[in-house]
Structure 1
Amino acid sequence: MNTKILMITSAIILGIMGLGLTFLPEEISEVLGMKTNQVSLLTIQILGATYLGFAMLNWMTKNNLIGGIYSRPLVIGNLVHFLVSSFALIKMLLHLENHIEIIVTLTIVYFILTLGFGYVFMTNPSKIAKTE
């Protein structure tokens, strides 16, 4: 598996979500129909900062050999994030009445990334022969 594509994809998705949550917490809360106060806005912004940090980590390591014992903490962190989030999103799908299209899209994206990082975790990487 080409882990570079997986790392770039996850970095872009997490980066977009992180930027939105960090810089547009009130607007996102309004679209989702959430009641806001200073603590909820701060929590959303902190979550956005976490996503941005994870996005930067994935982006900076996109060229590393990933899988097997190489970069295992990076793979485990991503796998746990996407797996637990996938479960939470699936659980939410069963009870949600509004904004179903947003949650379905996120669930599909997170599930695909979970499968990708799960595969990378379970397999050994192979170096691609470089021709010079």
Structure 2
Amino acid sequence: MNLNTKLIFTLSAVFLGLIGIDLAFIPQETAAFFGLPEAASIFLQLTGALYFGFAMINWMVRGSTIGGIYNRPIAVGNFTHFIMGALALLKFLPQHFDQIPFLILAGIYTVFAVIFALILFTHPLQTKNGKST
């Protein structure tokens, strides 16, 4: 399987960056949208910093060879983030199935989790006949 890791890392960087910017710069409004107390905004702001930092890492490595043993820490970090996020959201959804933002977020997280699993456990330099190039 030939994955376009440059495109995948660019899309994940943009996705994580948008969430990071939202949480870092408008945490009070985000807390109000989700019905959280205003005191939660400091945790949202810190979480936004984490998201934005992760987005910057993905943006910086998007042109590198990634998969198998190549840039393994980046692949492991992304896989771990997205699989744990997907599992948390999928666990949350049955009681909150009517909340569309969480459905969308769960879908995006699940797709990225599967893609990053493929990146992590697939050698990027193998051709269709199984030989390395």
TM more than 0.5: yes
- The answer for unaligned runs of 5 or more in structure 2 is 127-133
Q: Match of 1:3?
A: 5
User: What is the correspondence of 1:11-22 to structure 2 with a 5 Å cutoff?
Assistant: 11-22=13-24
Which residue is equivalent to 2:130? none
Q: Percent identity?
A: 35
Partner of 1:123: 122
Distance 1:29 1:60 in 2: 30
Measured on the aligned residues, the alpha-carbon RMSD in Å equals 1.5
1:108 pairs with 2:110:
no
Superimposed CA distance per residue, residues 82-111 of structure 1 (whole angstroms, 9 cap, x where no aligned partner): 00000000011011266x100000001000
Q: Greater CA deviation, 106-115 or 28-37?
A: 28-37
Q: How far 1:68 sits from its partner (Å)?
A: 0.7
Which of 9, 16, 33 is 2:35 aligned to? 33
2 CA distance for matches of 1:70 and 1:94?
A: 38
Tell whether the 8 Å contact from 2:75 to 2:119 is kept in structure 1 after alignment. yes
- In the alignment, what sits opposite 1:42? 42
Q: Find the residue that maps to 2:70 and give its secondary structure.
A: coil
Task: Please report the TM-score for the alignment, with normalisation by the length of structure 2.
Answer: 0.90
Q: Report the CA distance between 1:63 and its aligned residue.
A: 0.3
2:72 match: 72
Residues 48-101 of structure 1: CA deviation (Å, up to 9, x unaligned): 000000000000000000001000000000000000000000011011266x10
- How far, CA to CA, are the matches of 1:29 and 1:82 in structure 2? 22
Q: How far apart are the structure 2 equivalents of 1:89 and 1:76?
A: 20
For structure 1, the 5+ residue unaligned runs are 128-132
Q: TM-score, normalised by structure 1?
A: 0.91
- Paired with 1:56 and 1:126, the residues of 2 have a C-alpha distance of 25
What is the distance in 2 between the residues matched to 1:63 and 1:126?
A: 15
Equivalences, count: 125
